[in-house]
Structure 1
């Protein structure tokens, strides 16, 4: 087999200069050879050598018919069913002589004694009622007018006792009972303490049924409706789910989060669901009809179109535009572009794009003329390194990264343009990170995604000043 034909050498930093012979740039980095067999053919397919496929760890998956798990997923929190809450608040002034329920969290049954209260007001009102009733009886025969007045006074006193919610014979001491079964959430009552009219001494709620208030994003609202079933999972009980039902969609939208609150009801017979717990909600949506799907990692979205890389024979890969349907948890429905049995790249697909000079193919699917340098277009790369510093005014970050084989870059420290300074919010300098960047203007590389590496601890950031303009230092 003959040697591969080199067309030209391109600048390693993406600058628009090429060379017909090997050379180095101002930092001593070798120019990268562009081979004839790396160019797209008439079908838009490109060839990647088996060695590079193995180095990049390329994996493929088959396009298949399967059910799309298109459930609407949201985060929520467990709250008390507001309709089951009651407060115990006497309508008269008094003192608590004895507490029968002593602590927050105690379960109570309907009718169970809560506390015994003494009230001078009840004592005087009860005595007034007894005097009026006696006068009405004694003067009935001798003075009908006085008897009628005493009867009216007695009736008015009884009405006052009814308004004070004192049942039965008026007494200076009254026992207050739990109006519902439930759990004591608040207890202001203290034995020997004084209370005023309307003061809430107990708050009780029935926790046999609770609410979940979930935040559903605006784009998912059309798939949520009242009565819809849902499954709820909690970190406290891994491997277990609870059945719930959508009870209400709140009429307002949070402009900051672009989400609407949705209320779900679920039974809590075991008392496992405690108000304040965080919950993950999966609202049933879609249907069980099998659909043509690809794994979500197979999709390359450049902001204007969505493509997958079809794995052909003999190490050839072809970018294929696709039209997408429902997005599931593990797979995405494909409406147009591929057929069942096709194989698509699901790992290192954007690295193949870089290694194989697919920039032009992903941009317009048009092959360049022979010997013409590949035109620069946004191409995504992934790397690992250390976040060193943010220059918010300049809109750039300094990164120390390892080798990037896709660009044939050695390990070095360099500046990148940052798409949004919020991407590094909460990331302290010195934190090991994984980041995604793309080629912009010649010599400019822009970070579009960044996340700390799992379990990684910050390391001291370098003290040397970073190179400007996207250039780096070894």
Structure 2
């Protein structure tokens, strides 16, 4: 007997038709389903796994030295050379700072001797050391350290023509953007590379304000991204916003997701179910079995090997993979998961194909 509220019209969909397309059914079962909140989101870079590499000095990018440098899509390792700059001279240049540090080092040594001989006050030595500390900090911001080249950070190197500056990758990952053109001039602060480590990403959800209190009970999320039906999982809640965005009336919730196959691209839009800690038990069906027709959720129930029935549904909570059904199907029945649209098309022509063969 059809479930209360069901439709008694029998739909014929033959085995030979089923074999021509992907077709599958699933048994209606009792199960516990995590409550969830539906929310849109965006894929964002994981903190510490996204780096913009800027020119620390103004200068030229020697054409020959930069021809084989990484391009967008290339994998790079931390410490790998991304480009070579020939710094311009003048105040604030690497050469100028290096000379200043060396001068101040000599001043500090001289002041130490004079203080020891009580020829100058201690304050002069303190001031000289302070000036040296500031100059060293400025030099280190360019990657240098008293002229010593660092092995895993950007830093200067010397050639017969003078100082060259090796631009190094601060993290391992993929080159997302490159703005380094061989043979061009760049100004200090110009972003030359953007590097992203895509193995883990953040899912930033915009939870409607009416569910803001419930968002504190979030344990994770399941989601899909534009252009794909693949279900991804966000395993850990990173942060929940402290305030509602007054423009969008949403609360930001950020979660961590694995991206080992690189399918999740930075900037992708996502549709998610934010999973909550509390669960509810009842009759459940896979989400693939739920179709929306004229704004009404329905499922197609298998009543025989070649016969089906369309059932309007009253739905309960979903965890993004299974949904509780308050009314429409019973435990033990089988609902169509793959091929439901073909059954729907068959339902439009039931009067013709109800005799047991196709036309």
TM-score by length of 1: 0.42
Instruction: Describe the superposition over 1:26-53 as per-residue Cα deviations: whole angstroms up to 9, x where unpaired.
Output: xxxxxxxxxxxxxxxxxxxxxxxxxxx9
Q: Does 1:66 align with 2:57?
A: no
- Cα separation, 2, equivalents of 1:139 and 1:260: 59
Instruction: Describe the superposition over 1:207-227 as per-residue Cα deviations: whole angstroms up to 9, x where unpaired.
Output: 221111223234444433366
Match of 1:191 in 2: 182
* SS across alignment from 1:287: strand
Match of 1:249 in 2: 240
Instruction: Describe the superposition over 1:227-280 as per-residue Cα deviations: whole angstroms up to 9, x where unpaired.
Output: 602223335554553343222222343566653332111122222211122323
- Cα separation, 1, equivalents of 2:50 and 2:230: 31
- Cα separation, 1, equivalents of 2:268 and 2:70: 25
1:188 to 1:160, Cα distance in 2 relative to 1, 3 A: farther
Q: Does 1:78 align with 2:43?
A: yes
| 1:122 maps to which of 94, 103, 107 | 94
1:4-19 mapped onto 2 (5 Å cutoff): none
| 1:95 maps to which of 52, 56, 60 | 60
Maintained 8 Å contact 2:139/2:145: no
Match of 2:255 in 1: 264
Maintained 8 Å contact 1:226/1:248: no
Instruction: Describe the superposition over 1:383-437 as per-residue Cα deviations: whole angstroms up to 9, x where unpaired.
Output: xxxxxxxxxxxxxxxxxxxxxxxxxxxxxxxxxxxxxxxxxxxxxxxxxxxxxxx
1:157 to 1:200, Cα distance in 2 relative to 1, 3 A: farther
| 2:139 maps to which of 152, 164, 176 | 164
1:37-436 mapped onto 2 (5 Å cutoff): 57=9, 66-67=30-31, 69=33, 70-97=35-62, 98-99=65-66, 101-119=69-87, 120=89, 121-127=93-99, 156=131, 159-165=134-140, 166-168=143-145, 170=147, 172-225=163-216, 228-234=219-225, 236-254=227-245, 258-285=249-276, 286-287=278-279, 289-290=281-282, 326-328=316-318, 330-333=323-326
* SS across alignment from 1:225: helix
- Cα separation, 1, equivalents of 2:244 and 2:30: 34
RMSD of the alignment, in Å?
4.6
More strand by share: 2
1:168 to 1:260, Cα distance in 2 relative to 1, 3 A: closer
1:187 to 1:153, Cα distance in 2 relative to 1, 3 A: farther
Maintained 8 Å contact 1:105/1:184: yes
Bigger radius of gyration among the two: 1
Query: Post-superposition shift, 1:283?
Result: 2.9
Query: Post-superposition shift, 1:80?
Result: 1.5
Unaligned runs of 5+ in 2: 1-6, 12-27, 148-157, 292-313, 332-359
* SS across alignment from 1:201: strand
- Cα separation, 2, equivalents of 1:259 and 1:133: 56
Instruction: Describe the superposition over 1:109-155 as per-residue Cα deviations: whole angstroms up to 9, x where unpaired.
Output: 111112222222323443455577789999999xx979x999x9798
- Cα separation, 1, equivalents of 2:81 and 2:170: 10
1:238 to 1:127, Cα distance in 2 relative to 1, 3 A: same
- Cα separation, 1, equivalents of 2:284 and 2:130: 80
Instruction: Describe the superposition over 1:45-86 as per-residue Cα deviations: whole angstroms up to 9, x where unpaired.
Output: xxxxxxxx97xx499xxxx99336443333322121244333
Unaligned runs of 5+ in 1: 1-52, 298-323, 335-339, 342-474
Instruction: Describe the superposition over 1:153-197 as per-residue Cα deviations: whole angstroms up to 9, x where unpaired.
Output: 798467424313242453522212111112233333222322333
Maintained 8 Å contact 2:101/2:146: no
1:268 to 1:125, Cα distance in 2 relative to 1, 3 A: same
1:203 to 1:164, Cα distance in 2 relative to 1, 3 A: farther
1:226 to 1:162, Cα distance in 2 relative to 1, 3 A: farther
Match of 1:344 in 2: none
